[in-house]
A = this chain, B = another copy of it.
Amino acid sequence: MSDSAGAILTVDLGAVRRNYRAVCAAFSGAEVAGVVKANAYGLGIAAVAPALAREGCATFFVATAAEAFELRRLLPAVGIHVFDGVQPGEEADFAAQRIVPVLNSLQQIELWRAHARARGRALAADLHLDTGMARLGLDRDEQRRLLAHPDELTGIDLDAILSHLAVAEDPANPMNEDQRAAFADVAPGWPSRRLSLANSSGVFLGEAFHFDLARVGVALYGANPTPGLPSPIAQVIKLQGRILQVRSVDAARSVGYGATHRVSRPSRIATVALGYADGYPLAMSNLGTAFLDSHEIPVVGRVSMDLTTVDVTDLPEGLAAPGRLVDFIGENNTIDAVAGRAKTIPYTILTGLGRRLQRIYLED
């Protein structure tokens, strides 16, 4: 059905790999890990993670245990780290599958230490220090307590000490330096293999933020890690819908649910088989644009669940016809631009890509 699918997502795995190389080139530390949580930010972990591994990426971060187990089936040999850490009942599966939990609390440390003791061998883990997110990780008091009682880490083989930057996409925000200084102050206090602070935007904050290990997600998938500056990153996705019908609409008639668009002249409206269920945001109603070849065409009316209407009045005769594909996200409408217009962030555009899309993966 590839010739008739109504809504198509093309993921350029070559671009993902080039973006990984670009981040590696910008990073002064030892290693760049790939963050592939939330199904590789919606793009499909089963395709994206192996592509990154082929590019040399040897360490991956996911959010949940289920994601870690899925990734282990895909990549038997890589390092897999879990941001949520380990929950009661998951310890044996983590250990058996060599999954590295990010230990976020004294409770998780105790859980992992007890499991290491039960297995009679050291188990790898990362340690998460909160430096300002107040979300997960040890707070300052817990850090002090743990430093004062190193026996609480007996049997835990510390891989990375890590923390999360809260505002890295805003280089002028002084919170970045506060977090960096706090991290540099305390993180070396533990006997770990490496230190990790930078996310995608953190890599571009300068070498002081690099430490040993970067954890990079959204930049791999095409979002600009340096908002306001030219992007060092290539676009990865193309979101297209197929024209189902082209119709003439008289002046003063309305289009779509809620009758939110009223045409002011005799118009031609193309109805495209792509809607918000596919991930094209409702917020683009009467606001977005799409491209047919090199022609920009406005979205008119409300984006509906399965359909979007575009005004093709000004296109050359015959260009807009049933069966033709229209580009809604891609080189001409980057995910940053679409997110900005929809008043959201590129992350939600990526993770909102729908189940129904036909997914095409381009290899290099």
Contact = CB atoms under 8 A, between A and B. Distances in A.
Given A37-B305, A38-B305, A249-B134, A90 B1 contact: yes
Nearest to A307: B135
B4 A356 contact: no
Contacts of A64: 5-6, 273, 306, 356
Interface of A is mostly: loop
A301 B354 CA distance: 26
A247 B66 contact: no
Contact of A132 (B259, B277, B282, B348): B259
Given A4-B87, A39-B355, A307 B271 contact: no
A97 interface: no
Contacts of A253: 132, 134
Given A4-B87, A244-B85, A256-B135, A352 B355 contact: no
Given A347-B276, A352-B352, A134 B269 contact: yes
Nearest to A166: B259
Contact of A166 (B6, B133, B254, B352): B254
Contacts of A254: 132, 134, 166, 175
A192 interface: no
Interface residues of A, number: 74
Nearest to A308: B135
Contact of A282 (B244, B258, B282, B345): B345
Given A244-B84, A344-B282, A351-B305, A4 B256 contact: no
A132 B257 CA distance: 9
Contact of A104 (B38, B244, B255): B244
B256 A309 contact: no
Contacts of A49: none
Contacts of A59: none
Interface in A322-353: 322-323, 344-345, 347-348, 351-352
Contacts of A150: none
B256 A166 contact: yes
A89 interface: yes
A203 interface: no
A27 to B, nearest CB: 21
A314 interface: no
Contacts of A257: 133, 166-167
Given A6-B63, A135-B269, A276-B351, 17 more contacts: A4-B65, A38-B275, A38-B354, A64-B306, A66-B358, A107-B322, A132-B254, A133-B255, A134-B253, A134-B254, A135-B271, A135-B309, A136-B244, A167-B258, A175-B259, A276-B347, A282-B345
Closest 9 CB pairs of A and B: A38-B277, A63-B306, A277-B351, A4-B87, A134-B255, A134-B249, A105-B245, A135-B271, A166-B259
18 contacts: A4-B88, A4-B90, A37-B305, A37-B306, A39-B355, A39-B356, A42-B277, A64-B273, A66-B356, A83-B306, A85-B244, A132-B254, A132-B259, A133-B257, A135-B309, A166-B254, A173-B259, A175-B254
